[in-house]
Amino acid sequence: MRVTGNRMIDLATGATASGQARVASSAQEVTSGMRVTRPSDDPSAYIAAERAKLHRNLVDGSTRAVQTSRDRLDQVDAALAGIGDVISQIRSLAIQGVSATYNASDRAQIAEQVHSLTRTAIGAGNVRAVDGEYLLAGSASLSAPFSSTGAYTGNADTRDVSTSATSSVRATISGADLTAANGGVDVIPLMERVFSALATNDTAALAGTLDELAKAVEQVGLARTRVGGSMAVLDATVLAHGELTESLTTTISNAVEVDSIAAASNLAKASQALEVSRTVSSHLIALLKLA
């Protein structure tokens, strides 16, 4: 088949247009850093990236829930630490109060200290999250769990938070752990009893609280141990979620993002090919004009 001059120009023009398209595509990849932006670019890569993005979003949501629970447990631990410190101080004061070297006036002064410390413990027991929930109230979290006398008015319900598709960990404890419900003592009402014994100069009743105060110290410590165990699990979960998120981000990057070095090289090659095509087209047009 005879190739006419016009046909040769059409072929050269088409090659130049194709070269321009390749340069534009390569330049877009270099500028955006993306190789795949729509399904038609690479269906398999696009689907793989979208699946990874969905998984990453689910992991991010789970991480936020875990982190919120971890922050709440941190508040609870601080509250329990405060109560533990108070009960230890009250025990020391009670030991002083039973001493025969103290008189009624001395014990009355100690009683005032115990009263103040008890108010501090009640305040700690009624700790609230940033959303206003009472963290030690169980599921009755809209009302303060400890009354003005230290009586527990919440319940023993707790909440779990998922740490994976098949496991979870306790994300709360209730103020019931500070009561006699599970073989312990009623920690804050015990403080009130110490106050009453000191205020009324009842050394026998005061002496009778010493063993219970020692038990209360252990009881609060055990509650903190349980909180610490949950916090450790949640910390490990946040770390694992972070590693998974990083892996998913890499998967997305490998599927749809460009290799910057390869993209720059492709752009250079496309630009060079376009210049060659333009040069050939110019020479061809010049030759046909002379013919």
CATH value at residue 72: 1.20.1330.10
Residue with tokens 């601080």: 78
Same domain, 113 and 183: yes
Q: What pairing do the DSSP bridges indicate for beta strands 160-162 and 168-170?
A: antiparallel
- In a domain, residue 44? The reply is no
Same domain, 107 and 240: yes
Q: Please provide the size of the chain in residues.
A: 291
The distance from CA 136 to its chain's CA centroid, rounded to whole angstroms, is 20
* 152 CB-contact burial (10 Å; exposed 0-12 / middle 13-18 / buried 19+): buried
- In a domain, residue 117? The reply is yes
Residue 279: its pLDDT value, please? 61
Same domain, 92 and 236: yes
Residue 1: its pLDDT value, please? 47
- In a domain, residue 184? The reply is yes
Query: φ, ψ for residue 160 (rounded to 5)?
Result: -110, 155
Same domain, 215 and 262: no
H or E, element range at 248:
helix 210-256
Same domain, 15 and 138: no
Same domain, 160 and 191: yes
Residue 273: its pLDDT value, please? 53
Instruction: State which residues form the domain around 236.
Output: 50-251
The distance from CA 190 to its chain's CA centroid, rounded to whole angstroms, is 37
Query: φ, ψ for residue 157 (rounded to 5)?
Result: -65, 145
Same domain, 151 and 277: no
Same domain, 270 and 128: no
**How many whole angstroms separate alpha carbon 196 and alpha carbon 205?**
9
Structural contact between residues 94 and 88, judged by C-beta atoms closer than 8 angstroms: no
- In a domain, residue 40? The reply is no
Same domain, 226 and 88: yes
> Which among 19, 34, 8 has a CA at the least distance from the CA of 260?
34
One digit per residue, pLDDT tens: the chain, 291 residues? 444 555 555 555 655 566 455 544 544 544 545 667 788 878 898 899 899 999 999 999 999 999 999 999 999 999 999 999 999 999 999 999 999 999 999 999 999 999 999 999 999 999 999 999 999 999 999 999 999 999 999 999 999 998 887 889 999 999 999 999 878 999 999 999 999 999 999 999 999 999 999 999 999 999 999 999 999 999 999 999 999 999 999 898 888 776 445 544 544 554 565 465 566 566 556 655 555
- In a domain, residue 178? The reply is yes
Residue 258: its pLDDT value, please? 62
Same domain, 23 and 131: no
Residue 278: its pLDDT value, please? 60
Domains contained in the chain, number: 2
Residue 152, helix vs strand vs coil: strand
- In a domain, residue 120? The reply is yes
- In a domain, residue 207? The reply is yes
Residue 263: its pLDDT value, please? 45
The distance from CA 149 to its chain's CA centroid, rounded to whole angstroms, is 36
Q: What are 128's two structure tokens?
A: 């609230």
Maximum Cα interatomic distance, the chain, rounded to a whole number of Å: 130
- In a domain, residue 45? The reply is no
**How many whole angstroms separate alpha carbon 186 and alpha carbon 183?**
10
- Angle at which helices 43-97 and 104-125 cross, to 10°: 170
**How many whole angstroms separate alpha carbon 96 and alpha carbon 98?**
6
H or E, element range at 75:
helix 43-97
Sign of CA dihedral 92, 98, 100, 103: positive
Same domain, 236 and 263: no
Same domain, 105 and 228: yes
Sign of CA dihedral 75, 81, 82, 87: positive
CA terminus-to-terminus distance, the chain: 20
Query: φ, ψ for residue 237 (rounded to 5)?
Result: -65, -45
Residue 13: its pLDDT value, please? 61
Residue 52 CB partners (closer than 8 Å, separation 6+): 248, 251, 252, 255
